Structure 1
Amino acid sequence: MGKVKTSYSCGLDAAVDVVGGKWKALILWALHDGTYRFGELKRQVSGVSEKMLIQQLRELEADGVVHREVYREVPPRVEYSLTELGKALNTALLPLGEWGDAFMGQILAGKAKEQAV
């Protein structure tokens, strides 16, 4: 893993540290519906590799926003859910998701225009 931060310059710095990267916000968003097993979660977050999903879930668990429950069965069952901290973070991400929904067409048009250049 990378260098461990010992301080943040502001609250946004702390929040981005937790949700930064391509997959973490999408994982958190998928978990807002409830508890998922690994395979179910992988299907919810399309495009993520198994290795990356494992890494991102470990980081989210270390940050205290995702709970990992291991059931001692054969075969072993592992379920992931949001902690209270994770639920609060998802609430904070809601306006960002709404912004993305509202401007998705504009964003895609800008990307297509950029690619055509």
Structure 2
Amino acid sequence: MSEQTEPVSQIETDKTEGQENTNVSEEYAYLDRGGFSSENFKIELRGLPKFYGIAELKKLMNNKLGLNTSKIKRPKNGSHWLYACFQNDEERTKAIAALNGYYWKGITNF
């Protein structure tokens, strides 16, 4: 009888591992639906100055650098990182090239 319980345990373990893998892949399934999702065109900006305003950053990105951000989201005020979303992959790639190593407020950012 002990021989029968071991295979059952293995089957249950394999089944559980398969469910975990399925849940992880289903977590981002909405990205494959074909509709617009800003998650596809989001970049994370790190190394921001201690004091900055979102309006000031939007003006820098949209007016001075010529980027077209659709949304800028920071987790809390004074955070040294944030997310910037774009409408398509071309805009996202353009932003990465423009912001990588950009010097702003005494800090080399992004």
Q: Fold conserved (TM > 0.5)?
A: no
Q: Please say which structure displays the higher CA radius of gyration.
A: 2
Question: Of Structure 1 and Structure 2, which has the larger fraction of its residues in strand?
Answer: 2
TM-score normalised to the size of structure 2?
Answer: 0.24
TM-score normalised to the size of structure 1?
Answer: 0.23
